[in-house]
Amino acid sequence: MERILALDVGTKRTGAAISDESRTFSFPLLQFEASDPRRWVENVVALIDENDVGTLVVGMPLDSSGEPSEMGLEIRKRVALLQKSKSLPIIEWDERLTSAQAERYLIEGEVSRKKRKQVVDKVAATILLQSYLDSLQFDHAPWN
């Protein structure tokens, strides 16, 4: 089974996480600079090709009414560019609070501020992806 790649897209960096082949567990992959949209697309295409990815989950920041925020609209522009280069299912997933949760996990793990900055985006992507994977498992639970 193909893997699922998740992206936590920020204004400066994008964090990436990958699922295992059974689509049960999420693992941090890397983070990369995200300021240039065309370079961002190149990086994402490379990740898709290198990791046998069949589905992409993109964190979508929503406002309090549940609509995409200004950043969410920017992410959609990048996703539209990506779709010109790569054809695969792309799922928008609510990513509210994933960065805060990642930051909290790292603080609790006593990771220094400098090191947190280097990994927080890929940890946020891992949380995002695990949330999505858990929803898939729940959808296939025997009581559904």
Q: Is residue 144 part of a domain?
A: no
Q: Is residue 95 part of a domain?
A: yes
CA angle 103, 118, 125 (to 5 degrees): 60
Q: Is residue 32 part of a domain?
A: yes
CB 102 within 8 A of CB 115: no
Distance of CA 134 to the CA centre of its chain: 14
Q: Is residue 60 part of a domain?
A: yes
Give the residue numbers spanning the domain of 63.
3-139
CA angle 108, 123, 97 (to 5 degrees): 80
Q: Is residue 70 part of a domain?
A: yes
State how many domains the chain has: 1
Please report the pLDDT score of residue 70 as a whole number: 92
pTM: 0.86
- Which pLDDT band, with edges at 50, 70 and 90, does 106 fall under? low
Please report the pLDDT score of residue 95 as a whole number: 82
Best CA proximity match to 57, nearest among 94, 82, 90:
90
CB 99 within 8 A of CB 124: yes
Q: Is residue 12 part of a domain?
A: yes
CATH of the domain at 72: 3.30.420.140
Residue 7 has pLDDT above 90, yes or no: yes
